[in-house]
Amino acid sequence: MKFATRAIHVGQEAEPVTGATIVPIFQTSTYTQEGIGQHKGYEYARTGNPTRTALEACLASLENAKYGLCFASGSAASATVMNLLSAGDHVICADDVYGGTYRLFELVFTRYGLQYSWVDMTNPENVAKAIRPNTKMLWIETPTNPLLSVVNIAAVAEIGRKHKCLTVVDNTFASPYLQQPLDLGADIVVHSTTKYIGGHSDVVGGAILTNDEQAYTKLKYHQNAVGGVPGPHDCWLVMRGVKTLALRMEAHCANAMKIAKWLQSNTSVSRVIYPGLSNHKQHDLARRQMRGFGGMVSFELKGGEAAARKVAGQTKLFSLAESLGGVESLIGHPATMTHASMPKEQREARGLTGGLLRLSVGIEDADDLIGDLEAAFAMVESRKAVGV
């Protein structure tokens, strides 16, 4: 079956007792057993739930994975991956990642003895040079958040195999529709299903997908032992959202490209970052590695942080909000929102300045979205003209 068909059907057969076409929400915390040890595959809802099982099967199929695990958030999924490691282990991580990932790694897991090196993974040689005897994992985010750099997954995964390190890819920005890291050599894929997979800004969730049976067994153990699992209603919402993922991603990509080109022509903008633009540093890699270029666009204003704050406060269709990947468009100021936990000097050293804005381009009419941005820019310019 093709991707769009699997998104609707895998793990989602008609419910056998009633024939319900849509997987039910099995809202239960426990399961009645016929005798001691005699159950129907489920004992306790932290360990397993039929609604969750259906979602895990569907997401595994979409990532071409044998195994899938779902979690209460993307951060819970990332933390569970870290539970594969022990004190003293070293992780090489992309230097431009979601601020929550930076916070989790640097401010939480370093306290438990894990070590992190932050490198520019757009050059695989930087990864190879950062390898230590105790390096156990390579953590890729591509496209990165918020600077939309693209990492060569196959090249980094080859380094991981050579040095017996697990290669993990946070595939949230691309979604399984645009990019399938396991096919490129990665060992584990992580998602915040809150974003494109859920797609409607009404649920928080996470997922881990893998073909590595040994890793899966350990991850499954920690999923149950630590307990950061999603409730059945959350799983149902994610499953409902994923049914339209293919259609939505096509619309996100088309709108983002149109808006990125419009931003390039705006005299108030000093740079536009979008992998679909031919001047993007990794444009050719993105063309090879991804089915489309995604719905995220970042741009920097010539007026710096003051101008960025004003523009972000003037849009109407672009809601000023954290998160991304929903059908509605969002605008965010990474320096003070998603990446506020990262020290300013580190943000700016990586090119994440106060003048940078990040767009999560939704599936509204692109002309309306451009009109919204145009009006916000005009409002800021008019205020500047009168000294406001």
Any idea which residues carry the catalytic annotation?
A: 46, 98, 170, 195
Closest among 195, 228, 196, 223 to 209, alpha carbons compared: 223
Encode the chain in three state secondary structure.
CCHHHHHHHCCCCCCCCCCCCCCCCCCCCECCCCECCECCCCCECCCCCHHHHHHHHHHHHHCCCCEEEEECCHHHHHHHHHCCCCCCCEEEEECCCCHHHHHHHHHCHHHHCCEEEEECCCCHHHHHHHCCCCEEEEEEECCCCCCCCCCCHHHHHHHHHHCCCEEEEECCCCHHHHCCHHHHCCCEEEEECCCCCCCCCCCCCEEEEECCHHHHHHHHHHHHHHCCCCCHHHHHHHHHHHCCHHHHHHHHHHHHHHHHHHHHCCCCEEEEECCCCCCCCCHHHHHHHCCCCCCEEEEEECCHHHHHHHHHCCCCCCEECCCCCCCCCEEECCCCCCCCCCCHHHHHHCCCCCCEEEEECCCCCHHHHHHHHHHHHHHHHHHHHCCC
First-last CA distance in the chain = 58
Rounded CA separation 375/30 (Å): 54
> Which tokens in the block code for residue 326?
């929903």
Rounded CA separation 327/251 (Å): 9
**Alpha-carbon 265 to chain mean position:** 29
Q: Any idea how long the chain is?
A: 388
